[in-house]
Amino acid sequence: MMNLIPFPCGIRIRLIRWSVGPWPLARPLTHFRKPANGHTGQPTNLHAVLKAACICLALVSLAACSEPPAREVVFAVGGAPAELDFWETLADDFEKESGIPLRILRRPADTDQQRQSLVISLKAQMSDPDVFLMDIAWIGLFSAAEWLMPLEDIDTAPFFKTVIEKVDRPAGQLLALPVYMDAGILYYRKDLLDAYGGESAPRTWSALAETARRIQPAERKTNGDFYGFVWTGAQYEGLVTAFMEFAGTRGGFVVEDGQIRLNVPANVRAMRFMRDLIRKFKITPPNAYTGMKEEDVRMYFQRGDALYERNWPYAWPLHQSRDSAVRDKTGVSPIPAPEAGQSASTLGGFHIGVSRFTDVKAEALQFVKFVTSYNNQKRMVMQLGWNPGRQDLYDDPDILKQAPHFKALGEVFRSARPRPLVPYYTQISAIAQQHINSVLAGNAAPQEALAAADREIRAVLSRYAIENGSK
């Protein structure tokens, strides 16, 4: 026999003999003597095998069984913890009102991670989750992949017409409804601006940088962690939305002749500016491009360690909460404009959709209607500071009392720019994220990075549009 062991054999055998003792050796021998009635060892063999197989099967089926309750709507939603808590209360209300059990799948706050898990579920054609929130950036992908079930019986009149037509109704059928709209806004410390010169909110990026560079050293004397400007620079979708705002109306994803280009002067200037914020002016924390996402940025500002913050409207009620260090000291203004071109907030927001593979179609639709109803959307505004997708809420007196800037923001938001609504947007975004982030890391020059990004985008397009006619 093959001897596979480098250890001395003799010792092993002696050890085994010693450890085994009389018991195991004796038992088998007597056992085999039992069938004296003519049976061979075969039936006992089979018996043992069957026993073992049954045990295995029982174990495995125990493990595989877990039946969920029937007719339950499963809702996948991600976001900041405060938002998720709100969804839980909303879910309880829905259950009470309609009697339909609702289960929430909590997802990470990172929008890319939310997308990854949804893509897996939908690609596997799973019946759960039935309802989910989609970033406006993915609707192109989800609708082209035919993962969304058409929403029937919904009155779309109260919602923003342009959004519905452009985003939610790509081929005539209504596939999603906006739950809230997002547009990047600038938060600033009113008290600091007043203390250091009575300025108003900056209207251009260079003005913002100038003010921050002036105020930061002064504040650093009392607060060593103070930075002038915090924004989302980590390598994820949030970086792209911030980048578009730095670039303004002449930059971002430029679409010409069916091609998407990034290598335009406005973008080169924007990337240079973003890099300088971190490396030259040093008014943005050095780990902005490795770790800062929405919640990190919000916490930074909320601790009182930043002068300016670029974030989404959800941060407003949190900044005004009781334990916030910047309560009543925060102002809100539109995104500044670059040197050439106008200011452009990036249109964001989440839409609600139903999976095409759902097993509880009627109940899912009911939940969609519940979420997008006037009252519930109003609750979202009051509690979370979201901009609703329903136009009729922008004149609600209660809302205007609590958030007076709401109406003005309505304007900002009407002019906000969407990202390209193409099915392969996630690929393009991944390319853009990587190159922008490498410029911020100091690994590439802006122009080269943008040129490289363009080359990769063209490669992606050629891969997907092979023989454009015959899809």
Near another protein in 51-80, by CB under 8 A? 52, 56, 59-60, 63-64, 66, 80
Given the complex with another protein, which of 373 and 443 has the nearer CB atom?
Answer: 443
Residue type, 90: L
Q: Whose Cβ is closer to another protein: residue 163's or residue 292's? A: 292
Q: What is the DSSP letter of 159?
A: B
- Distance from C-alpha of 379 to C-alpha of 318, rounded to nearest angstrom: 15
Distance from C-alpha of 280 to C-alpha of 270, rounded to nearest angstrom: 14
- Of 60 and 340, the one with the shorter C-beta distance to another protein is 60
In the three-class reduction of DSSP (H, G, I as helix; E, B as strand; rest coil), residue 209 is classed as helix
- Helix residue ranges per DSSP H, 284-373: 288-291, 294-302, 315-319, 361-371
Rounded to whole angstroms, the Cα distance separating 251 from 112 reads 23
How far apart are CB 288 and another protein at their closest, in Å?
9
- Distance, CA of 224 to CA of 229 (rounded, Å): 15
The C-alpha atoms of residue 275 and residue 270 are separated, in whole angstroms, by 9
Question: Least distance (Å) from another protein to the CB of residue 210?
Answer: 24
Using CB under 8 A, count the residues that bind another protein.
102
**Residue 455 contacts another protein per CB under 8 A:** yes
Neighbours of 143 (CB within 10 A): 22
Residue 222 makes contact with another protein by CB under 8 A: no
Taking the least distance from each CB to another protein, the nearer of 187 and 394 is 187
Please tell me whether residue 41 binds another protein under the rule CB under 8 A.
yes
* DSSP-derived pairing of the beta strands 227-230 and 102-107: unpaired
Distance CA 392, CA 424 (A): 33
Return contacts of 402-410, CB within 8 angstroms, 24+ apart. Answer: 403/316, 405/332, 406/381, 409/183, 409/185, 409/313, 409/332
Task: Confirm or reject binding of residue 321 to another protein (CB under 8 A).
Answer: no
Contacting another protein (CB under 8 A), which of 444, 450, 457, 461?
A: 444
By the rule CB under 8 A, 50 interacts with another protein: no
Strand, coil or helix: what is 282? Answer: coil
From residue 216, give the alpha-carbon distance in Å to each of 192, 197, 226, 389, 427.
Answer: 10, 13, 7, 38, 38
If one asks whether residue 401 binds another protein (CB under 8 A), the answer comes out as: no
- Of these, 254, 421, 445, 452, which contacts another protein (CB under 8 A)? 452
Position 327 contacts another protein (CB under 8 A):
no
Candidates 213-221, 371-379, 404-412, 454-462: pick the segment binding another protein (CB under 8 A): 454-462
Q: Rule CB under 8 A: is residue 404 a binding residue for another protein? A: no
The smaller minimum CB distance to another protein, of residues 112 and 363, is found at 112
Q: Which two tokens stand for residue 406?
A: 């709401």
Contact flag: residue 399 with another protein (CB under 8 A):
no
Tell which one of 252, 418, 456, 461 touches another protein (CB under 8 A).
456
346, 419 contact by CB (below 8 A) = yes
Q: Within 133-162, which residues bind another protein (CB under 8 A)? A: 141, 144-147
Residues 455 and 349: their CA atoms lie apart, in Å, by: 29
- Cα distances (Å, whole numbers) of residue 424 to 222, 340, 428, 462: 48, 29, 7, 12
| Spatial CA neighbour of 423 closest among 211, 57, 171 | 171
- Does 35 sit near another protein (CB under 8 A)? yes
Structure tokens at 159: 């919602």
Among the listed residues 443, 447, 440, the one whose alpha carbon sits nearest the alpha carbon of residue 275? 440
Residues 81-140 that bind another protein (CB under 8 A): 81, 84, 88, 105-106, 108-109, 113, 115-117, 119-126, 128
Evaluate whether 429 touches 236 at the Cβ level (below 8 Å).
Answer: no
207 near another protein (CB under 8 A): no
Q: Which of 435, 450, 457, 461 binds another protein (CB under 8 A)?
A: 435
The reply on whether position 217 binds another protein by CB under 8 A is no
Check residue 203 for interaction with another protein (CB under 8 A): no
Contact between 400 and another protein by CB under 8 A: the answer reads: no
Select the span of 36-44, 203-211, 347-355, 370-378 touching another protein (CB under 8 A).
36-44
Instruction: Single out the residue of 17, 71, 161, 401 in contact with another protein (rule: CB under 8 A).
Output: 17
Kindly give the residue spans of alpha helices, DSSP state H, lying in 124-160: 139-144
For residue 306, the cross-strand partners are: 227
**By CB under 8 A, is residue 382 in contact with another protein?**
no
362 binds another protein (CB under 8 A): no
Q: Which of residues 274-303 bind another protein (CB under 8 A)?
A: 285-287, 289-291, 295-296, 298-299
Q: Is 391 in the site for another protein (CB under 8 A)?
A: no
Least distance from another protein to the Cβ atom of residue 437, Å: 4
Pick the piece of the chain touching another protein (CB under 8 A) from 246-254, 309-317, 364-372, 431-439: 431-439
Which range in 44-52, 92-100, 240-248, 338-346 contacts another protein by CB under 8 A?
44-52
Which residues, in sequence order, are bridge partners of residue 388? 180
What does each C-alpha distance from 99 to 19, 69, 153, 155, 272 come to in angstroms? Answer: 65, 13, 21, 23, 56
Query: Using the rule CB under 8 A, is 340 a contact of another protein?
Result: no
- Which residue's CB is nearer to another protein, number 122 or number 151? 122
Q: Is 434 in the site for another protein (CB under 8 A)?
A: yes
